[in-house]
Structure 1
């Protein structure tokens, strides 16, 4: 394997960190196979925005709510949007979940599944699976957004105000709810615990909340290339920040607090000026979206 560049050798992530599988070569960190795929999703079109949405097999209601609301591919006239849900194999290993998932896929053609176990500790695998799919099957898209299922997304604000289809596509662009100066949790009881043999530094590089971040698609290959020299940690948002750091890419701070990794009290006029809000169940998404569409024009 080729030696990593000098800056990558200085990475605070130890190369001998033990992950879910034994990794012999860093360029085969994710040796998983597709169970369900949509390789032609971007065929004969150049998406302006691809929504990459991690999900679990049981989250049928959430997926349906998103399809009806902010994930509607025909929401913005003249703008090509592609919606995709990414997941692993359901835990426990239940065919009762797998067969309905295949039927759902046959109807909507928006599900991508690989054969890793779909657990919290494997969220990094799920995110990198989405990055790999984008690089392999939709490299000509302009932008992508990784966003969780429990989010409210003001898709129109994102597309028209932040990304702007009438402007040239940004290069090396990555933005979201920014964390700077975050320190690793060393308490073993913490949900975000990271042992020192996984990350030796006292402070993480800047990273964006995994609840929702946006990037130009040219960044994807650079993230994947950087990941070849990093054994993944399970905190996927921190890990993506490490990949950006090792790729010498900076995160752009979004204007006007557009992204929120927490719940923002709803009112239609206030939501006109944000892109994301957190902690939304499927019924909340549908109800809030309907109200927002009806009242935003009155602001």
Structure 2
């Protein structure tokens, strides 16, 4: 044993030992760098054409199970809340309008119920309004949501805290429920501070809309507005780990966008693999790009309330940033536009 120790000591003192040790260290370092590079590339490429190539290989449930370990996207099963009964819906209706809201915003919801959500039962182009809310935190908030649901039966309550950073989960939950349960021809996602021209939009989708499949339309952001915000103090902050590019792909504003049923289904399928980010409309744009669905820019969706004239309501479909008083005025203008502007030509294009 002593002879072995002596031999080791002599070897450690030799130049050969240090050369071997140095070579081994370099080889290990090179292997680690290569491993990290491959891992980064796999993470960076989980989207776009590479993701579409992966999804083309998934032709059955068995195939899907084989690649499930590669997922880092939405866990749809976890979004469903069994505490609240979901709304009922008629399958195959023309339009389902999903309105993101929050438990305290009952005045906004009631205003919508009494303005542009009226008349859906009697429409020649069937449509419906459903409000998306999450789990409330205040004392008695859960009971208030339960009571509201029992009265109106138009709330879809998710199994996640009702925060702005969870808006992506809220919208994914709403889309999943709509596609799985209601299967409307089209889905409109909007917010509870927006006006929707329900007098025009359902009819336009049936009579004038030339794009029946692969439709993803709304107010498109300019390239300079698609830069990823890295400021941790911003409510739109997204880390490099969550999204590894400097700019989002083309996407439309979350104040309102229309998806055809097949486009929504494709987006949901991709969402199971694509890591979510807390910027809902940008995330939908990321999913649409990965699914091969182009974003269609339409000036019928406006991000600002400009005190529009009555005749503008023959054209505009969604208007953002309305108070409850503004909602009532917009609804009145929409009704007046039925007859007051009958001499104006009807525009039948998205642009």
Q: Give the TM-score taking structure 1 as reference length.
A: 0.84
Name the counterpart of 1:50: 96
Q: Contact 2:48–2:290 at 8 Å: present in 1 too?
A: no
SS of 1:164 mapped into structure 2:
helix
Aligned to 2:301: 259
Tell me what 1:144 maps to.
Answer: 187
1:275 is aligned, of 317, 320, 324, to 317
Question: Does residue 160 in structure 1 map to residue 200 in structure 2?
Answer: no
Deviates more, 1:177-186 or 1:33-42: 33-42
1 or 2 for the larger relative contact order (CA 8 Å, sep ≥6)?
1
Query: Among residues 79, 82, 86, which one is paired with 1:32 in the alignment?
Result: 79
Q: Contact 2:97 / 2:127 at 8 angstroms: preserved in 1?
A: yes
Give the secondary structure class of the aligned counterpart of 1:156.
coil
Which residue of structure 2 lines up, in the alignment, with residue 68 of structure 1?
114
Give aligned pairs, total: 278
Unmatched 5+ stretches in structure 1: 12-22
Asked whether 1:116 is paired with 2:156, we answer no
Please report the TM-score for the alignment, with normalisation by the length of structure 2: 0.72
1:240 aligns with 284
RMSD, matched Cα: 2.6
Unpaired runs of 5+ residues, structure 2, are 1-44, 54-68, 342-351
Instruction: Name which of structure 1's ranges 177-186 and 127-136 shifts more when overlaid on structure 2.
Output: 177-186
Look up the match of 2:150: 106
Q: Distance in 2 between matches of 1:291 and 1:89?
A: 35
State the distance in 2 between where 1:51 and 1:172 align. Answer: 18
CA offset at residue 165 of structure 1? 4.3
Tell me, what secondary structure is at the counterpart of 2:125?
coil
Pairwise CA distance, 1:51: 0.5
Query: For 1:210, what is the secondary structure of its paired residue?
Result: strand
Instruction: Check whether the contact 1:264–1:278 (CA below 8 A) recurs between aligned residues.
Output: no
What CA deviation, in whole Å up to 9, does each residue of 1:205-242 have, x standing for no partner? Answer: 01110010011111122111111111100000000000
Higher helix share: 2
Quote the offset at 1:291 in angstroms.
4.2
Residue deviations 1:137-166 (CA, integer Å, cap 9, x gap): 112x111100100012212222233x1347
State the 1:81 CA deviation: 0.8
SS of 1:127 mapped into structure 2: helix
Quick check: 1:290 aligned with 2:312? no
1:38 Cα deviation after fit: 2.6
**Cα distance in 2 for residues equivalent to 1:83 and 1:206:** 27
